[in-house]
Structures are given as C-alpha cells and as structure tokens.
Amino acid sequence: MRLTGKMPVPQKEKMNATFYISAAVAVLSTILVIVSRRAVHALLYFIVSLLAVAAMFYVMGAPFVAMLQVIIYAGAIMVLFLFVMMMINLGVDVRGPEQAWLRPSRLAGPAVLAGVLVAELVYVLAAGWKHSAAPVEVPPEQVGLAAFGPYVLGVELASLLLLAGLVGTYHLARGRREDKSPKEEQPR
Amino acid sequence: MTLEQIRALLPLIILVGAAVAIMLGLAVRRNHAFTVAVAVGSLAAAILSLALGPTVATPITPLLRLDGFSVFFSGLILAASLFVAVLSHGYWNRRRTVISEEFYILLLLAAAGSVTLTMAVHFASFFLGLEILSGSLYAMIAYERDRQAAVEAGIKYLVLAGGSSAVLLFGMALVYARTGTLDMAAAAAKLAGALDVLTLAGVAMILVGIGFKLALAPFHLWAADVYEGAPAPTAAYAATVSKGAIFALLVRLAAAMDIQSNPPFQATLAAAAVITMFAGNLLALRQSNLKRLLAYSSIAHMGYLLVAFLAAGTLGRTAVGFYLAAYIITTLGVFAVMIVLSGTERDADRLEDYIGLSRAHPLLAAVFAGMLLSLAGLPLTAGFVGKFYLLAAGVGAHLWVLVAALVISSTISLFYYLRFIAAAYAQPAAPPALPAAVAMPRLARLAIAVLVILLLWLGVYPAAVIRAIQEAVAIGR
C-alpha cells in the first residue's frame, strides 16, 4: 500500500496534527513520570507515555511497530513493573496513604492524557486507515524481511545487549556470597 | 552469509560463544579459576582468529566491515581485555564476599561490543555496539554492590551514558531525516560536504554523544567519580578498552564524513581539544587519589589524541593508532600495579598506599615509576614515541595552537605523575597503610612483565609497530 503524495493537502495536515498531538502527550507524560513523587503515579504516566509513542508510530504508517509497542511495553513490561511494586509490600502502615495515592482525583491526569489518545485513535480510524502522515506504510512482512535479511546481525547484536542487561541485573540483584571460605571449594 | 564473512566474524562469534558457555556452566558449577581460563582462552582465540582472518577488506552485511583498520583496533581491544581478565583473577580472589564469575561474562560481552564498534560502518551497528559496551559497563562498575560508592558510580554512569546515548540517537535521526540512509559512507556521499542546519545539528549531536563517552572537556565531569567508585579492573577496562573502541569509531566516522575539513567542526573540536588537555591536567594536579588522577589523566590523553585526530590523513591516523596502543599499555600497567596492591577491603588508590613502595616491592615500584613516566611522555618509553608522533602529526597539519597546548599541558602533567613516583621512593614515616600484599599471583606477575616489555619495545624500537599501523590505517577507508 503505497500512497506517495496522493493525499489531499488539508487531510495530510490533519494527520500531521495528530502526530504532533500524540508527541505532545508523550513529552508531557514523560515529564510527569519524572516529577511524580509516588512510583504508582509515575508508572501510570509511563504507560500513557508508551501508548502515546505507539500512537505516533501508528500515525507515521508503522502499525506493526505500534502494535508491538502496546503489547510488549505498555502490556507485558508495565504489568511486570506493577507486579514488582505490589510484591514489595511495605506493610500495614502504608495502607492509609496507599488508598490516598489511588484516589480518583489522582487518576485524572493520566486519564485525561489517555483520553486525548483515544480521541485521536477514534478520529484516525474514522477518517480511514490509509490516511497516514507518512508517505509510505510499512507492513509487518517488510519489517521482518529487513530484520532477518540484511540486518540479521543487528538483531543478533540486540540480543547481546539483552544478555548483558540480563547478566548484570541478575548479579546486582543477587547480593553477596555468604561464606568466607575459599571460592574454589564452594560449588553452587 | 558466505563462508568468508563468517570467517571475518569469527572473533565476535568466539567471544559471544564463550560468554554464553560461561553463563550456562555457572548453572552447573561455579569455579572462578575455570571461568577465568575460559575467558582468557576465548580472548586469545579471538585474537588468533583476527590474525588468521581474511586479509582483504570484507564487508559483512551492511552493518559491519572487517579491514586492516578494524583488525588493528580489535586486536588492541582484545589484548587489553585479556590483560584485564588476567588481572581480575587475583583481584576477585582477594574479595571473598563478592560473587566474581559474572564479571567475566560482562567483560566478554563488553569486548564483543567494542569489537563491533571497530567494525561498524552503519549507524545501527555503531549504536548497538556502543550500547552493548555501556550496558555491560554499568554492571561492571556497580559490581561490588555492597559498596555504596560502587553503586553510586554505576548509577551516575547509567544516567549520564543514557542521556548521551539519547543525544547520539537524536543526531543520527536528524542525519537520517536528510539523507534517508543509515550507512555512514552513503550518508556522507549524499551530504557531499554541504551541511545544512539540520545535518549540521545532527552531526554535532553525534559528536557530543561520542564526546560524552570519551569524557572530552565540557562533558568530562562524570569520569573521576565513576573511576573512583568502580572496582579497579573495571576502571582499567573503562579507561582503556572503552575509550579505545570509541576513538576508533570516531576516526572511522570522521574518515567517512570528512569531519576534520569542515570548518565549524574543525574549530569546535580544536577548542574542545585545548580545553580537554588543560582541564584534565589541571584537575589532576591536586589529586591524591590514584583512580581520580588516572581519570583526569585519561581525559587529558583523549585531548592529546584529538590533536592527531584533527591532523587527519594517514600520518594523523597512524599517530592515533600508535598513541592509543601506547596509552592502553601504559594505563594498564599503572592499573595492574594498583590491582596487585589492592587488599581485601579496598583498592590501593590513595597516595599513602604508595609511600615506601620501593622498600616493600622494589620491582613493582620500578614498574609503577616506569609506567607513570610513560604517561608523562619521557624518553625510552612508549609514551614518548607516541607523543612525538602526535606532535609530528600536529606540526605536519600546521595546528600550531594545538601543538603548543599539547606541549604546555603535558609539561604540567609531569608534576602529578612525579608526585606519585616520589611517594613510591619516599621513606615511610609510619607503617604502610595497607599490609604488604600477599604473594603476587603468578599470572599477574606475568601480565605485568609482558606490559613492561611492550612498553620498552614500543619506546625503543617502534619502527615495526609503526609500519604495521601505517598499513592498517592505509586500508582504513
């Protein structure tokens, strides 16, 4: 589906506007992630930020990447974050403040930003799938052909990056050796 | 992928295979000595595979390219990684409470990232290699996570390196937006020297990102804290391998994009070089912590290297190659002395730790003095020949201001190197702060001996090495 330069100009401008609106939402929510004092609030804004980036990808004609962004980042990784936060149980003392953190008024910010994104999505879908801001739409098979064709080494290198992150996190989370005896005698 | 390309990729394959093998082996049984043997063996095998690899330039997919340039710098990086791995063995053996085996996995992965950087001809592989390198370094810096300073250093590096990566990525995106390609040579051809505002900003942001990683002057603030907090082997790694790999990439990128002949970049880089040289040397003056001193001295040395970098041409690139080799050997030598002196609790990084070193370990004190003199650039050492080449390159390109700055600032540097040498040969007033290190591990002794031989060899008879480097960088385009 190539639509090089066939789009009427006003429509193209509207699509560009959707791009800028989602970019603004992304920037705003990311700033709010940084300035939020509570981890839960930061997380909510972070989810909005990731969804906004997904919306940007979508408007730019990369529906596949947008989908991955929603499924992997906003879905899997953020849920993992939430689980970790729930598992770090701070005890009974914080139950009162915890309820205060989740008061509906605290959710207004993320809700409004997410609402903007939903409105955009509805508008884009209503206006018709083809009108993306980018001249070319990149379908999934093209992504796959590039990633596993000429750029297969890039995928391999990215896996090395993940391996380094994994080993590093594992070590830093694991803590110290308890015994003081020589290392060689302590198989684990 | 053809057989020839796989042969060219062999160093990377060996490193990664060894890293994965160590990781899987740890699930069965932990053994420090065996882990070190695998790591050192794989690094040696990778060096061998480079030496026996293809002799003609081999493009490996659009991302990487093996040529004389990458063979030389990869060899340098792998050899330095090997020395760090050998020295780490004794160091971690003395720190009983730290689980040490994962360090070698991270070290091998960081080496793989660095080798990728030296082969990168595409912005994607450039960025991925850089991230593999810094991703492993974060964990290597914070490796002793019970020490608060180490964790603090790790977080500092994480935040600053993350920020600089973002700047770098933004710069790449701007270049891509104008040229539509991420291939360095193709992008340079499309730009054809004529940079508009967009690409000017893009290339400038890429240079800022690289400058951050090299700790060039306005972006040098992180170096001292990170080196001080990191365990000594990691600091040695960050000062040698990481800097060498990124500088190699900078040289290749500049050769592709012809950055040195572009007036705005030439002026800014020259200014950065002067500020870097003076900032590094002046900040090192009052340091009585050896790690911080080496951090500032490495900043200054990157400034010296920029002089040869700006001189460009074959002479400039030869000077960069030789000076990097000399710098890596010498810095590793100083860190090696620090590592073997480090005890069970803390690293031997204070000035007091070196007072009276010549009494307790006369040979070690001599090595220490020799290495510091080489950093200062005194004759008979590799550092002298290296500096001579830098000056020759600078004079050849008529960079008079830079040459003057180099001479003045390296004279300043004599002061703080001599301060540590004087301490090593001073009479101890009180009993030494650190107990005399228990019998030095045999491997570390061997490593130090090899470093000393290399130092003198490059200092006395550099001709063979220089010829090899000239050939390597000649095919470098």
Q: What is the pLDDT of residues A38-90, one digit of tens each?
A: 788 888 888 899 999 998 888 888 888 889 999 998 888 888 888 887 777 66
Distance CA B418, CA B127 (A): 39
For residue B10, give every residue at least 6 positions away whose Cβ sits within 8 Å of its Cβ, in sequence order, or none. Answer: B46, B49, B50, B53
Those residues of chain B that have pLDDT short of 50 are 476-477
A164 and A103 within one domain: no
Q: What confidence score (pLDDT) does residue A109 get?
A: 83
pLDDT of residue A96: 63
Kind and range of the H or E run holding B64: strand B64-66
- Cα separation, B330 vs B350, in Å, equals 19
Apex B277 CA angle, B273 and B278, nearest 5:
120
pLDDT of amino acid A91: 59
- Residue in B closest to A184 by C-alpha: B31
Tokens 């709010």, residue located: A32
B113 in reach of chain A (CB within 8 A): yes
Domain assignment present for residue A185? The answer is no
The pLDDT score that the predictor gives to residue A186 is 42
Number of domain units in chain A: 2
Q: Is the pLDDT of residue A188 over 50?
A: no
Examine residue A4 and state whether it is found in any structural domain, yes or no. no
Please give the pLDDT value at position A2.
39
pLDDT at residue A183, as a whole number: 44
| Environment class of B467 (CB within 10 Å of its CB; exposed 0-12, middle 13-18, buried 19+) | exposed
A129 and A169 together in one domain: no
pLDDT of residue A130: 59
Min Cα–Cα distance to chain B from A23, Å? 15
Residue B258: left if φ>0, alpha if ψ -120 to 50, beta else—which one? left
Answer yes or no: is A22 within a domain: yes
d(CA A128, nearest CA chain B) in Å: 27
For residue A170, give the 3-state DSSP assignment.
helix
The yes-or-no verdict on residue A125 having pLDDT over 90 is no
Q: How far is A145 from chain B (nearest CA, A)?
A: 14
Across A144-161, average pLDDT? 92
In a domain, A2, yes or no: no
**HSE toward the beta carbon, residue B185, CA cutoff 13 A:** 10
pLDDT band for position A108 (50/70/90)? confident
Give the model's confidence band at A158: pLDDT under 50 very low, under 70 low, under 90 confident, else very high. very high
Under 8 Å between Cβ of B179 and B191:
yes
Q: Mark out the alpha helices in B285-399 (DSSP H runs).
A: 290-311, 313-341, 357-360, 362-376, 382-396
pLDDT at site A1: 37
Facing A157 at nearest CB: one of B30, B96, B129: B129
Instruction: Assess if residue B283 is contained within a domain.
Output: yes
Phi, psi of B265 (to 5 degrees): -70, -40
Looking at A15-29, A157-171, B267-281, B363-377, which range is the least confident one?
A15-29
Angstrom distance (rounded) from CA B92 to CA A87: 34
Asked if the Cβ–Cβ distance from B98 to A154 is below 8 Å, we say: no
pLDDT for B438 equals 54
Pairwise CA distance, residues B431 & B434, whole Å: 9
Same domain? A52 vs A121: yes
* Confidence (pLDDT) at B191: 83
Nearest CA in chain B to A178: B97
Q: What does each C-alpha distance from A69 to A45, A52, B167, B426, B468 come to in angstroms?
A: 15, 10, 22, 63, 48
Q: Does A170 map to a domain?
A: yes
Task: Tell me the ipTM for this assembly.
Answer: 0.91
Task: Report if residue B445 sits inside a domain.
Answer: yes
The minimum CA-CA distance between A44 and chain B, rounded to whole Å, is: 22
Number of Cβ within 10 Å of residue B172's Cβ equals 21
Q: Would B389 be classed as within a structural domain?
A: yes
What is the distance between the alpha carbons of residues B23 and A167, in angstroms, rounded to a whole number?
Answer: 8
CB B419 within 8 A of CB B404: no
Q: Which of B363, B368, B357 is nearest to B432 (CA)?
A: B357
What is the DSSP secondary-structure string of B139-193?
HHHT-STTSHHHHHHHHHHHHHHHHHHHHHHHHHHHHHHHHS--BHHHHHHHHTT
Cβ separation of A160 and B60 shorter than 8 Å? no
Task: Examine the domain organization and report whether A97 and A170 are in the same domain.
Answer: no
Chain position carrying tokens 């999505």:
A121
User: Based on C-alpha coordinates, what's the Rg of chain B?
Assistant: 21
Q: Give the pair of three-digit tokens for residue B284.
A: 């090192």
**Same domain, yes or no, for A80 and A171?**
no
**How crowded is residue A30: how many other Cβ atoms within 10 Å of its Cβ?**
16
Residue B41 located in a structural domain: no
Cβ of residue B183 closer than 8 Å to a chain A Cβ: no
A93, A146: one domain: no
Asked if the structure places residue B37 within a domain, the reply is: no
Residue in B with minimal Cα distance to A149: B61
Residue B435 is classified by DSSP as: P
The 10 Å Cβ neighbour count of residue A111 is 13
CB contact under 8 A, A184 and B106: no
Q: Is residue B106 part of a domain?
A: no
**How many residues does the structure list for chain B?**
477
Q: With an 8 Å Cβ cutoff, are A163 and B109 in contact?
A: yes
Cα dist from B197 to B175, B202, B300, B368, whole Å: 11, 8, 31, 50
Place of tokens 């932990």: B30
- Considering the domain boundaries, does residue B344 fall inside one? yes
pLDDT digits (tens, 9 = 90+) for B371-384: 999 999 888 889 99
Provide the percentage of residues in chain A whose pLDDT is more than 70: 74
If one counts the domains in chain B, the total is 1
CA distance A100 to chain B (A): 31
A104 and A19 in a common domain: yes
Q: Do A58 and A29 fall within a single domain?
A: yes
pLDDT given at position B96:
80
Residue A72: CATH number of its domain:
1.20.120.1200
Query: Residues of A at the B interface (Cβ-Cβ below 8 Å)?
Result: 150-154, 157-158, 160-161, 163-165, 167-172, 174-177, 180-184, 186-188
* A43 and A108 assigned to the same domain: yes
Alpha-carbon distances, residue B121 vs A73, B78, B183, B209 (angstroms)? 30, 20, 6, 17
- The Cα–Cα gap between B406 and A29 comes to 47
Residues 6+ apart with CB under 8 A from B235: B226, B227, B291, B294, B295, B335
> What is the domain extent for residue A158?
139-175
Same domain assignment for residues A27 and A117: yes
Identify the domain containing residue B455 by its residue range. 258-477
How open is the CA angle B204-B208-B210, to the nearest 5 degrees? 115
Cα(B314)–Cα(B306) distance, rounded to whole angstroms?
Answer: 15
Tokens 């104008």 sit on residue: B178
A180 neighbourhood in chain B, CB within 8 Å: 96-97
Verify that A112 and A153 share a domain, yes or no.
Answer: no
Residue B128 lies in a domain: no
Residue indicated by tokens 């180099």: B406
Q: For residue B423, what are its two tokens?
A: 């301490």
Cα separation of B284 and B293, whole Å? 5
Count of C-beta atoms within a 10 Å radius of residue B259: 21
Residues A109 and A157 in one domain: no
> What is the Cα–Cα distance from B77 to B369, expressed in whole angstroms?
24
Categorize the per-residue pLDDT at A182 as very low, low, confident or very high, splitting at 50, 70 and 90.
very low
Maximum distance among all Cα pairs of chain A, rounded to whole angstroms? 76
With a cut of 60, say whether residue A7 has pLDDT above it.
no
